[in-house]
Amino acid sequence: MASVDTSLQPHPTGAAALLAARHAQDHPLRLYGGWFCPFVQRAWIVLAEKSIPHQYIEINPYHKSPDFLALNPRGLVPTLAVPPSPLALDGKSRKPLYESAVIIEYLDEAYADTEVHGPRLLPDDVYERARARLWMDHVASRIVPGFYRLLQCDGGGDPERMGEVRQQFLESLKMLVREMADPEEEEQQGGGGPWFLGARFSLVDVMLAPWAKRLFLIDHYKEGGVGIPKKEERMEDEEKKIWGRWDLWMEAVEGRKSVRETWSDEEEYVKAYKRYADNTTQSEVGRATREGKRLP
């Protein structure tokens, strides 16, 4: 059996290193994270997006300290250590939260003062908020597992297996893209924009952005890559529309300040994800993917 992934770069690099340094001082609200982890990046994006004061603490989840395990016995990142109230100065009685989808909704609700923290990241309308949660779940239950299946797929001696896994992933991606706001229709109503909800950046975008940014790893490691056709290869009108809408969203993600600030140097991701591509990783996500189980 392969050894546990202990040889990770110990700290974020690039823009993420600068952000971590700005949040290194003690603070009642603490995010325990790993720079390489897309689940952590979800939480980090929301903290940056809403300008929430906090302390960032880098954790190697393969070397779990007793203090960290006291907060989260599962030893997973992200873990958010929450003070008794968002404005409390005394951090001694911090309470833990984990699961990235739970953390990002908590941060959006707990830091809801729009004058201080900017627009809410879920819609105000109760139906639209429920609909957003439906597609957040689609990202979590379909797209993210599909990403790992494709990255870890070795074909198993079956040359058609990689194609099947790739097609399943692309279909789950296209389902989401079809639900994105139509920029032309939105513009006619005075509210066009590139995001899932149109002009409004939301938690649906946050849920997917870290894996969208990591798609280059599949292109790097797997023959045939992700399989999104290049512009000149898109022949059918529906294909042009779907992947054109994806391009618009992806360009916006690449340019979003909160995404750029939480991103390390790309060559470090290539190193960190090699064991996923080799399907030898012993992370909980990697093992669950290999065994066909629900992601932790």
Per residue in 186-236, pLDDT (tens digit) is 555 556 799 999 999 999 999 999 999 999 999 999 999 999 999 999 988
The residue among 70, 92, 117 that closes a domain is: 117
Q: Is 113 in the same domain as 134? A: no
Q: Is 104 in the same domain as 193? A: no
Domain at 19, CATH number: 3.40.30.10
Per residue in 67-108, pLDDT (tens digit) is 888 888 888 899 999 987 655 555 456 799 999 999 999 999
CA proximity to 227, closest of 167, 139, 151: 167
Q: Which residue has the higher pLDDT, 160 or 50?
A: 50
Instruction: Round to whole Å and give the CA distance between 134 and 125.
Output: 14
Q: Is the pLDDT of residue 112 over 50?
A: yes
Q: Is 96 in the same domain as 168? A: no
Domain at 271, CATH number: 1.20.1050.10
- Which residue has tokens 């909800």? 197
Q: Is 21 in the same domain as 97? A: yes
The residue among 117, 137, 165 that closes a domain is: 117
Q: Is 244 within the bounds of a domain?
A: yes
Instruction: Round to whole Å and give the CA distance between 283 and 102.
Output: 21
Q: Is 160 in the same domain as 186? A: yes
Q: Is 172 in the same domain as 95? A: no
The residue among 93, 117, 141 that closes a domain is: 117
58: β partners: 33
Per-residue pLDDT band for 4 (boundaries 50, 70, 90) equals: very low
Per-residue pLDDT band for 3 (boundaries 50, 70, 90) equals: very low
Q: Is 137 within the bounds of a domain?
A: yes
Average pLDDT, the chain: 91
Q: Is 4 within the bounds of a domain?
A: no
Per residue in 124-146, pLDDT (tens digit) is 999 999 999 999 999 999 999 99
Strands 95-98 and 55-58: unpaired
Per residue in 5-27, pLDDT (tens digit) is 556 889 999 999 999 999 999 99
Q: Is 296 within the bounds of a domain?
A: no
Amino acid at 60: N
Domain of residue 172: give its range.
126-290
Is residue 74 a contact partner of residue 51, using CB atoms and an 8 Å limit? no
Is residue 218 a contact partner of residue 226, using CB atoms and an 8 Å limit? yes
Q: Report, as an integer, the average pLDDT of 37-64.
A: 94
Q: Which of 36-40, 59-63, 147-151 has the lowest mean pLDDT?
A: 59-63
